[in-house]
Amino acid sequence: MPADQPNPRRWPQTRQTTVVRIAHKAVVAAALAAAAAVTQGCGGSGASGTAGLAASSPPPAAAATSSGPVTHTAQVFMPGMKVTVPTGGWTVYEDHPGEFNLASPPGTTAGTNIHFWLDPYASTPHDRPIRTASRTPAALIGWLRSNPDLVVSAPVSQRIAHGIEAARVDLDVSATAPRSDPGCPGPCLAYLVWPRFGFDYGTARGEPIRLYFASLGTGTNTHTLVISIDTPNATTFSAVIPAAGKIIDSVRLPATVSAG
């Protein structure tokens, strides 16, 4: 299913495995590139090129698309969390106890997802939690940067979600990383996992992401918030970062932090 026709899923449906999601993104990217080439050859518009892809896909849950800002409210993951997107083309793709996930509209940002999670574990390449690794923002960033299979930038301090202090890094998979599943098109691996909810997160080489880490709450109620801007290629990454950054800035967290 093309990324420009998101199919919202709700718990208890099963979360895609990393390899399924990576393979899906590869197919989407190839389909969008092919559509663009056909459109240019025929002298048509970008809209007509993507319309052909949408025809064979299930329609999105909400047919109407607003041309102005829209605020989505999480119903399951951190119930009450509000996220404002620039247009109705940004839709809720997942809202379940382990994740809230927005999917981008068609165009230059197609294939992008913005994921919201709490309290991940560092993961082995085959999605086993590394329970000896701390789950604080600093510890998770340190673990990612020490992983030779990943290329991770130095952390940058930034305030998100109306003033919450966070650290952000950009990440890609190393050219020498293993192909942890034969279904991946190249080097790919999982590096975050949520055993409680039964899913992992990873990417393939050439799918750059931006990760934000923030600490929420105090004492025994402390949680690690992680947000990922997940893109299918470097071109889309550059195109979506300005809008995605504003979306993350818009977040308003509920008074009670809960992963469902």
- In percent, the amount of the chain with pLDDT more than 70 equals 73
Decide if 133 contacts 144 (C-beta within 8 A): no
- The string of pLDDT tens digits covering residues 169-186 is 999 999 999 999 888 999
- The string of pLDDT tens digits covering residues 44-85 is 333 222 222 222 223 334 434 567 999 999 999 999 999 999
Per the prediction, the chain carries an average pLDDT of 81
**pLDDT at 4 > cutoff 70:** no
**What's residue 2's pLDDT?**
35
Q: Average pLDDT for residues 104-110, to the nearest whole number?
A: 96
**CA–CA separation, 89 and 109 (whole Å):** 11
- The string of pLDDT tens digits covering residues 5-19 is 333 333 333 344 555
- In percent, the amount of the chain with pLDDT more than 90 equals 67
Those residues whose C-beta lies under 8 Å from the C-beta of residue 58, and which sit 6 or more positions away, are 1, 5, 7
**pLDDT at 100 > cutoff 60:** yes
Going through the chain in order, the beta strands assigned E by DSSP cover 9-10, 70-73, 82-85, 91-96, 99-103, 113-118, 121-122, 150-152, 156-160, 164-173, 188-194, 199-204, 209-216, 223-230
**CA–CA separation, 22 and 202 (whole Å):** 8
**pLDDT at 146 > cutoff 90:** yes
If pLDDT is split at 50, 70 and 90, which confidence band does 220 have? confident
**What's residue 6's pLDDT?**
38
Q: Average pLDDT for residues 191-206, to the nearest whole number?
A: 96
